Amino acid sequence: MIATALASQTARIGTETGLSDWVTIDQNRINVFAEITEDPQWIHTDPVRAAAETPFGGTIAHGFLTLSMASKFSIETFTKFEGQTMGINYGFNKVRFLSPVCAGDRIRGRFVLQTVTQKSTKNLLQEHQLTIEIKGKDTPALVCNWLGMAVFG
- The residues near 21 (Cβ < 8 Å, ≥ 6 apart) are 76, 108
Q: How far is CA 49 from the centre of its chain?
A: 29
User: pLDDT tens, 76-118?
Assistant: 999 889 999 999 999 999 999 999 999 999 999 999 999 999 9
| Residue spans of the chain under pLDDT 50 | none
Looking at residue 80, what is its pLDDT?
A: 87
Looking at residue 1, what is its pLDDT?
A: 81
Strands (E), 1-141: 16-19, 23-24, 84-97, 106-118, 123-134
- The residues near 12 (Cβ < 8 Å, ≥ 6 apart) are 113
Looking at residue 79, what is its pLDDT?
A: 84
What gap in Å lies between CA 108 and CA 55, rounded to an integer? 24
CATH number of this structure's domain 2-26+62-152, picked from the four choices 1.20.58.100, 3.30.540.10, 3.10.129.10, 2.40.128.50: 3.10.129.10
Domain boundaries, the chain: 2-26+62-152
